[in-house]
Amino acid sequence: MTTKLIFNPAAVLLALLAGWMQRGQQRLIDYLIEENRVFKARHVKRRLRFTYAEPARIARAGKALGRKLLSRYATIATPDTILRWHRQILAAKWTFQRKRTGRPEITEEIQRQIVKMARANPGWGYDRLQGAVANLGHRVAASTVAAVLARNGIPPAPRRRTTWAHSIKSHKAMLAAADFFTVEAWTLRGLRTIYVLFAIRLATRKIEIVGITDSPKGDLMKQAARNLTDPDAEALRGATHMIIDRDKKHTDEFTSLLRAEGIKCVPIPAKAPDCSAFAERWVLSVKSECLNKMVFFGANSLRRAINEFVDHSHGERNHQRLGKELIEPAVDAGPAAGEVQRRDRLGGVLRYDYRAA
């Protein structure tokens, strides 16, 4: 009996297509493996650190391949490591959490309060923090306080340094700052650079414009020192130190006149504007909220705009570092009843909403 072979063109074509697709997938896999090896060699300098979910994802996929394929294709971890991860996943499925004995853990709220107190009071030790937390109605042990600080990377009190922000906050009632900023204005002689000298009281954020000129020379600085030490001026009233930068426009005569009135000028380090952050922040505010939105023709138009912004900053602009309060609130600030009205300054560049009496 002879068997007759039947030629099926569709089956042959399907087999050829499947083989071509398999070769294409193999080339893609080989490329991705080589790309992963190059990336790992170039960018991974030390041992990889995985999250809890990442080994589980790799282990589930690797278990389906088996050790033989893993030894050929795995690049992130060895086959034994991937299979060990899979065994750990299976073991965790049948692991039940035991009931813990002993003192219960403190809440997240108490931990945040301990950390907040430690950062605000660098000199407080564990016992002092324990007593402060007890004042809030929470009973914790000193060892618990120590453990909370250690978890948050806060050293003990003898090695806990006082930050500049804390130091300035403690002394800002006696501190003021002065600085220049420039604005370009059109004049009959073309575009000119106008210099604005201002002073700011760190505790109250009150601003005083000392001088606006296109020629900040010695005579202007002497007059500026007299204006700052005038009995009616509020910028330096009660201050003992004034922070200035190392600009040469702060002349020796300027600092000498202030020193004669009991105010010591403290120059900040070179190229360190953060050391005069209060003054720099006010420059950012006045430029971004007002000056950058206008074109000025002469010093008088600039002077009017700056004075309007100073009045707005004192009585109509809420300050984040002052608890979002106004520096000098008017009688129309705060009522909960009445028609809401709006006050515009500089044609609507500055606006203030309030309730009519």
pLDDT digits (tens, 9 = 90+) for 247-289: 888 888 889 989 998 899 999 988 888 888 899 999 999 999 9
Residue 292 neighbours by CB under 8 Å, 6+ apart = none
| Strand-strand pairing, 241-244 and 264-267 | parallel
Kindly state the average pLDDT of the residues 200-224.
Answer: 87
Position 159 scores a pLDDT of: 75
Cβ atoms < 10 Å from Cβ of 222: 15
Give the confidence band of 181 by pLDDT, cuts at 50, 70, 90: very high
Predicted pLDDT at 164? 63
pLDDT at 325 exceeding the cut of 80:
yes
What secondary structure does DSSP assign to 102-121, as a single string?
SSPPPPHHHHHHHHHHHHH-
Going by pLDDT thresholds of 50, 70 and 90, the confidence category of residue 224 is confident
Residue appearing with tokens 């100073």:
310
HSE at residue 124, side-chain half, CA atoms within 13 A, is: 21
The mean pLDDT value for 325-346 works out to 82
Range scoring the smallest mean pLDDT among 81-85, 194-198, 352-356? 81-85
* 63-119 pLDDT per residue, tens: 777 777 777 777 777 778 877 877 877 777 766 666 666 667 788 889 999 999 888
**Is 87 strand, coil or helix?**
helix
- Cα–Cα–Cα angle for 192, 195, 200, nearest 5°? 155
165, pLDDT greater than 70: no
Q: How would residue 43 be classed by pLDDT, with cut points 50, 70 and 90?
A: low
pLDDT of residue 102: 64
Task: Quickly tell me which residue has 């515009």 as its tokens.
Answer: 344
Higher pLDDT, 7 or 306: 306
* The total number of residues written for the chain in this structure: 357
The reported pLDDT for the residue numbered 289 is 94
Sheet holding 264-267, edge to edge: 207-213, 190-201, 175-187, 241-244, 264-267
Res 297: pLDDT: 93
Q: Is the predicted pLDDT of residue 241 greater than 60, yes or no?
A: yes
Q: Indicate whether this model's pTM tops 0.85.
A: no
The enclosing H or E element of 181 equals strand 175-187
Q: Would you give the distance in Å from CA 172 to the centre of its chain?
A: 22
